[in-house]
Amino acid sequence: MRGMTGTLITVAPTGAESSKADVPALPVTLDELVATAKECEALGASIIHVHIRDADARPTLDQGRLRATVAALRESTGLIVQLSSGGAVTDPESDRLAVLDAGPEMASCTMGTVNFGDDVFLNRWEFIVDLHTRMQERGIVPEYEIFDLGQLTTLQRLLGKYGLPFGGHVHVDLVMGVPGGMPGTTAAVAACEQAIRDLPEGTTFSATGVGRSTLPVMLASLSAGGHLRVGMEDTLTYAKGRPVESNMQLVARAVGFAQLAQRPPYTPAQARELLGVPSNHPDRRPETGLKAAR
Ligand code: KMH
Ligand code: ZN
């Protein structure tokens, strides 16, 4: 990881936790999401981590909306489209598994149950195995979400028992600073980086720090050879007393840090090559949603 020449920048623009009423800048419609995706790609993002909302801006895993979202993002951008299989803490396992039916190129796959504020984000071992093996069968590249150090050991167990993910490359995302998970500190990034060395050769990681841990986590990740995830799913305050104005503001800041670290953002094509995600060339896109409807 230390030899990384560029930086993967993932934007997580929406999440499932904030309401549009509280955070008007949150992209919740398909048009808002596509416009955000295009602008973030132009700034230097290469992956978009997607949660969607219904007509009332509430989190949903509606299959039709998911398919239309995947199709619109693939048609309008070169970004790698990563659907969240985590959804909201209230989503049942069956709906979370069905996210894979919407045909994303990547999907998240959380490596264990974690307290999540006052809630519980449930990820049973059997459910993790189901997600991992279905993604292998369908050619979907996972991003393994890690909320606590021990979840890296769970990932080691998963890969040992069920084999490498589709594409053969292992990529994890450290989600730090969730109340109930690991803290968003340099020490925690360093502990995870050490544990990642026990995963298959070439494993890459990105990191995101929730709330005010966003800056320390970003700096620690870059210095440890990691990549960056930013966005309004995780961060709503840009600086003390200054609400985030847009996802673009957070991506622009991440790009600035990556450039200062002399690891400029990877293009989506470079990110695909690194992560083993097939090309987004029009000839290789699946017939889904918008394209199929034309
Ligand atoms: N919304 C959280 C309960 C993921 O996207 O995979 C889960 C989450 C993780 O955001
Ligand atoms: Zn998410």
The answer to whether residue 181 sits within a structural domain is yes
Query: Residue 285 domain-assigned?
Result: no
Q: Report DSSP state, residue 185.
A: S
| Residue 21, domain CATH | 3.20.20.70
Give the whole-number percent of the chain exceeding pLDDT 70: 94
Question: Over the stretch 98-156, which tens digit does the pLDDT of each residue have?
Answer: 999 999 999 999 999 999 999 999 999 999 999 999 999 999 999 999 999 999 999 99
Instruction: Look at residue 280 in the predicted model and tell me its pLDDT.
Output: 76
Position 1 in a domain:
no
Q: Choose among 24, 192, 15: nearest CA to 86.
A: 15
Residue numbers of the domain that contains 126: 9-274
Residue 28, in any domain of the structure: yes
Beta bridge partners of 114: 121
- Whether 290 is covered by a domain: the verdict is no
DSSP at 266: P
Structural domain total, the chain: 1
Q: How many CB atoms lie within 10 A of CB 115?
A: 14
Q: Look at residue 294 and tell me whether its pLDDT is greater than 70.
A: no
User: For residue 145, how far is its CA from the centre of ligand 2 (angstroms)?
Assistant: 9
Which residue lies with its CA nearest to atom 1 of ligand 1? 88
Is 282 a domain residue?
no
Q: Which residues line ligand 1 (CB under 6 A)?
A: 15-16, 84-86, 88-89, 108, 110, 116, 121, 145
Residue pLDDT, tens place only, 244-286: 999 999 999 999 999 999 999 999 999 999 999 998 756 555 4
* Ligand 1, atom nearest to 233 Cα: 10
Q: pLDDT (tens digit, 9 = 90+) per residue, 14-58?
A: 999 999 999 999 999 999 999 999 999 999 999 999 999 999 999
Is 287 a domain residue? no
Distance CA 1, CA 119 (A): 34
Give the integer Cα–Cα distance in Å for 250 and 85.
23
Residue 291 has pLDDT above 70, yes or no: no
- Residue range 158-179, pLDDT digits in tens: 999 999 999 999 999 999 999 9
* pLDDT tier at 2, thresholds 50, 70, 90: low
Q: Report yes or no on 291 lying in a domain.
A: no
Confidence label for 287 from pLDDT (cuts 50, 70 and 90): very low
d(C-alpha 15, C-alpha 191), whole Å: 26
Closest approach atom of ligand 1 to CA 85: 6
**What H or E segment, with its residue span, contains residue 204?**
strand 204-209
pLDDT band at 4 (very low <50, low <70, confident <90, very high): confident
